[in-house]
Amino acid sequence: MNRSFKNRILLLPLGLLFAAMSFNGCSELNFGNRFLDQQPEQVGINLDTVFSKKYYAMQVLTKAYTTLPYGIPYDASPNLGGDLLDALTELSYSTLTYGGARKVYYVGAYSASNESTLSKYFFTNSKIWSGIRYSWLMIENVDRVPDMTSLEKNRAKAEAKVIIATHYSELFRHFGGVPYLDHATGVNEAFHYERLTVAETVSRIVTLIDEALPHLEWKESDENDNGRMTKAYAMALKLRVLLFAASPLFNSAEPYLAGEASDRHLTWYGNYDVQRWRDAESAGRAFMEELAASGVYDLVQPATQDEAGYRKAYHDAYFTRTSSEVLLSVRMNYHNNYASVFCGATNNYAKNQCPTLAFMRLFPMSDGSAFPEDFDWESGAVDPCANRDPRFYETILTNGRDYQGRKCQLYVGGVDRKDENTDGTGLLMYKFSQDYTTATSLGAVDSWPAIRLPEVYLSYAEAINEANGGPNDTAYDLVNRVRNRVGLGNLPEGLDQTAFREAVLRERACEFGYENVHWFDIVRWKNEAALRADIQGVNMYQDNSTPTKFRYAIFDIKPNRVWKDQWSPKWYLSAIPADEIYKNYGLVQNPGWE
């Protein structure tokens, strides 16, 4: 087998040759979708047969891998109906008429009776639960495979445990305490599991990760295994979960909203305990100690110390699957089709995810100073998009920037904004868009960065700050590494706990725009102000009388999102589907959704 062909087949979505090969000629098994989409018992295949050979057994693990969360719209029924999660935050606005943001959330149509593929995370999505079940099948049965070494078996079980932990970490961040499957459910087994408390849910996730760690490689030793679970990703996932658990949504003297679920500690711990922040700090410290000992991962550094160099480094950091800072890359297949779906002219998701004025203002200037609060928009004396954080240009497409072989015309009357009443904010999303053309992205590996190294840095810095009543030198250094990579100067010294927290959250918003991070930062800090903020855009008009040849006018996006004028903290967590509640097997609804 030549290496080129081998590389292609090993990336769907991980380096498991056994799963990617055709089973034509394997007369004793009828695998493929018929087996993978059903219970093995339903298609006449018993587990003894499935786990009789490594060749077959690894298909079960591969199937579990294909269920991992993937953030870029790629088919007809993704979460949020094609919108990105940031569309629910103050930093982005969706014009996608059939997307979940507009159809469900902006207008207040979301409810326990309206949990669906238009929801931000569909509770009864079979992909989630089948991923958990296939993982447990591997854990429970791989030891019987005769042609696998103990090392291979232990690694397979460890990878399966981290897949389960990944799914439960997502469920936890959306719903709080959740039902927990601790084995591979059988064909005739009723799916009746009560919700665990927040404390129990966190404990189960962390236990799975801790059990897996000794059997995982820090980083894949074979480049063809890129996409498989690693110790680095598992440790980062543990930090993510513990940071979320330590945050005020769950870790507080009062619940975010009263109700039976709160009384049962399904949506908070029942008290505040600084030890939870210390646990997150400890997880961050453990990761950094392992990084110092084992190396390999690092922030992608610029080849040149200029805007072009900083932009290229940042782009490669989040988009390239082999980036030195992507701790887990999730892919749908080798040669992607997302370019035609996400960027294609007839179905352009990317153009429908519009950064807001708030996001535009959030990015600092290129010297690291904040964008002026008193910026003079009307006079057109200064271009508001000039001399900004290089990440700004990789995240937001603005007027006059290189675009599809020409200069972008986002001024009113230009090619890209026909008139001032065109739905949108006057700004377009650039991140992941690859210039909105299939030519620049079709055939590339469609990699979703599940966790990048900067998230570990910033999460650890935040945990230090909260656990110790303020930042120390280590916390400053971690944030400054992220800033320095794109040419920004260090944070100012002497920040107190609140100011440092705000700086870290701002840095996370700029670094991880459209990477499904900011929504969870809003939720875990119970940031009501962010959800109730005015959603604004900016129109640009040609005006030869101004120094920049343009003038700018801020406008409000109407109508307001429902939670601006009809606020309830219930929006912090999703609703358990009413159909599941009505089955009367012990599920308790989240507060406010009864």
Q: What is the pLDDT of residues 79-109, one digit of tens each?
A: 898 899 999 999 999 999 989 999 999 999 9
User: Which has the minimum average pLDDT: 4-8, 183-187, 399-403?
Assistant: 4-8
Kindly indicate the confidence band of residue 437, based on its pLDDT and cuts at 50, 70 and 90. low
Instruction: Mark residue 464 as left, alpha or beta (left: phi above 0; alpha: psi -120 to 50; beta: remaining).
Output: alpha
What is the topology classification, in CATH, of domain 3-73+119-264? 1.25.40
Kindly indicate the confidence band of residue 32, based on its pLDDT and cuts at 50, 70 and 90. very low
DSSP 8-state assignment for residue 224: G
pLDDT in tens, 139-149: 999 999 999 99
pLDDT in tens, 555-587: 999 999 999 999 999 999 999 999 989 888 889
- pLDDT at res. 583: 86
Distance, in Å, from the CA atom of 82 to the CA atom of 73, rounded to the nearest integer, reads 5
pLDDT in tens, 204-256: 999 999 999 999 999 998 888 888 999 999 999 999 999 999 999 999 999 99
47-51, 329-333, 390-394, range with greatest mean pLDDT: 390-394
Residue 300 phi/psi, 5-degree rounding, is: -65, 125
Amino acid at 58: M
What is the pLDDT of the chain when averaged over all its residues?
88
The CA-atom distances, in angstroms, between 253 and each of 59, 268, 318, 371 are 47, 9, 37, 36
Tokens of 264: 């049962």
- pLDDT at res. 26: 28
Question: Contact 44/260 with Cβ under 8 angstroms?
Answer: no
Over 80: is that where the pLDDT of 185 sits? Answer: no
For residue 456, count other CB atoms closer than 10 A to its CB. Answer: 24
Residue 40 phi/psi, 5-degree rounding, is: -55, -35
pLDDT in tens, 295-314: 999 999 999 999 999 999 99
Query: In sequence order, what are the beta bridge partners of 451?
Result: 328
- pLDDT at res. 45: 58
Tokens of 421: 């009443």
Tokens of 588: 């308790």
Taking residues 425-448, report their average pLDDT.
75
CA 263, 268, 273, 279 dihedral sign is positive
Over 80: is that where the pLDDT of 360 sits? Answer: yes
- pLDDT at res. 288: 98
- pLDDT at res. 42: 45
Kindly indicate the confidence band of residue 38, based on its pLDDT and cuts at 50, 70 and 90. very low
For residue 194, count other CB atoms closer than 10 A to its CB. Answer: 14
The better pLDDT of the pair 421, 311 is held by 311
- pLDDT at res. 523: 98
- pLDDT at res. 585: 81
Residue ranges, comma separated, of all CATH 1.25.40.390 domains in the chain are 3-73+119-264
- pLDDT at res. 76: 53
Query: In sequence order, what are the beta bridge partners of 195?
Result: 179
pLDDT in tens, 452-500: 999 999 999 999 999 999 999 999 999 999 999 999 999 999 999 999 9
